[in-house]
Structure 1
């Protein structure tokens, strides 16, 4: 099974975790076959553990900046770091990271991973807007509980459950620039953002991306993705395409799946960045 996951560290029925499932053909077509929604972290984790084999692109960070880890004197091997991080409370994470930022100059408050610049992603230590530090804290342990393999980072119990870090903003910006296409705020769910979603979908269906893939949708799916003002389902689809690109490169040098051969094995990397 191939899928992309738009994640929330605190899902609800109104703001669930969304998973876009698809399949690929030899001609570079990625067909969307279903959308799943999970209102709790446990339900999502149980779904991951119930599927016999999968490759997924997940919209949350798999690692923290090496600079931050070394400054805090936290473990500098990935498995040991995640074990340490998982037992912290969110309050402890927030206070530790806030203290780190407070001691640094304006304009350089956050430490960054090497992947942040090419991906255009938020630093994985941010605890607000978006709270990606909490997403790592909630998401990665559940991947490990499902026995997933995280290429370059962790050899899981299941070699046929492959988890990769994805980032929908990377692909969206390639196609529509910095135009905003989504908002959780009802007052900001504008016609302009709906038009941006429509343009983004048109580009994906035309295969106008450097990934060399073309999205195939039904009319009902297209209408649903365009109408989803929060953009969660569309973000899951963007992650699905990044996962499909990675699967084509499963046997590439280094960690495989198109990941850089020299990626930092503590920080991780966003596929296709």
Structure 2
């Protein structure tokens, strides 16, 4: 299993972080953290992973249906993503800004059903955070690598069930959902060095302790070495901890599948255009 803290503009200072792990004796064991400083490196890493895996990725997998219909874009998910991938970021910003400008104050953005439930930023937002660009950069790379997206990527277009590509599965994750369950509104990270305070360090340690003790509704316990625990607590940006939170969401989805849910915990009522944040 894996959890991915994604960036649409990764660098050596702010890399994409992937937490690799497995379930063992009732615990989720963190085995390795991978850091990738470019989208090309990320694409190559995806292509080099032949083993079957299930991952939760911290980026939106779809756009609000209201937005797509208003813009006149295809309402089939694959066709919509194909169209979206052909646009430049400037074109995306212009289209979304025009959509917002035509709407009243307090209701500028369209929301997916899952965004409202999870408390995540609307997937059409292009600043603070630029999740629209994360979708634009991330989803095409998953598809190019032959990864299957349950509930979205049509099975008819996917590789056969016996092929390795068909055994690599990506779900949309959101670490903030699990973090808020433990911390409430306490902040545990910041990219701004001036805001990397002792209080945020304490919050990270409290969150890690809760995950290790299984004090969340996911019913999972995280297994860390002392060195891993220190590394997660010391990362003031929170990128490695976010990747681990996504790993736990992937583990929860795997348990749903093992219990007989072929949808990995995704609701049957999920809009196949918008997508869904696993565990929401």
Report the TM range for the smaller structure's normalisation. Answer: over 0.9
* 1:244 maps onto 2:243 in alignment: no
5+ residue gaps in structure 2? 160-164
Structure 1-normalised TM-score? 0.97
Partner of 2:269: 262
**What residue is the counterpart of 2:32 in the other structure?**
34
- For the residue of structure 1 that corresponds to 2:54, the secondary structure is strand
- What do the CA deviations read for 1:62-105 (whole angstroms, capped 9, x no partner)? 00000000000100000100000000000000011011011111
Shift of the 61–253 alpha-carbon distance from structure 1 to 2, 3 Å rule, reads farther
Aligned to 2:102: 103
Aligned counterparts of 1:97 and 1:253: Cα–Cα separation in 2: 40
Q: Aligned ranges for residues 3-152 of structure 1 at < 5 Å?
A: 3-27=2-26, 29-52=27-50, 53-152=52-151
Q: Distance in 2 between matches of 1:240 and 1:30?
A: 8
Q: Distance in 2 between matches of 1:254 and 1:125?
A: 30
* TM-score (ref. length: structure 2): 0.95
Shift of 1:118: 1.5
CA apart distance, 1:254: 7.3
Structure 1 runs not aligned, ≥5 long:
none
Write the deviation string for residues 168-211 of structure 1: whole angstroms up to 9, x where unpaired. Answer: 00000001101000000011000000000000001000100100
Indicate whether 1:211 and 2:222 are aligned: no
Deviation of 1:226 after TM superposition, in Å, equals 0.4
- The alpha-carbon deviation at position 249 of structure 1 amounts to 1.3
User: SS of the counterpart of 1:115?
Assistant: helix
Aligned pairs, number? 271
Name the CA distance, whole Å, in 1 between partners of 2:13 and 2:43. Answer: 19
- Asked if structure 2 preserves the Cα contact closer than 8 Å seen for 1:152 and 1:255, the reply is no
SS of equivalent to 1:76: coil
Q: 1:125 to 1:253 in 2, by over 3 A?
A: farther
Q: 1:176 aligns with which of 173, 177, 183?
A: 183
Which ranges of 4 or more aligned residues in structure 1 deviate by more than 3 Å? Answer: 251-255
SS at match of 2:18: strand
Deviation at 1:250, TM superposition (A): 2.0
CA distance in 1, matches of 2:190, 2:70: 35
Task: Give the aligned CA root-mean-square deviation in angstroms.
Answer: 1.1
**Is the 1:252–1:258 contact (alpha carbons within 8 Å) kept by the matching residues of 2?**
no
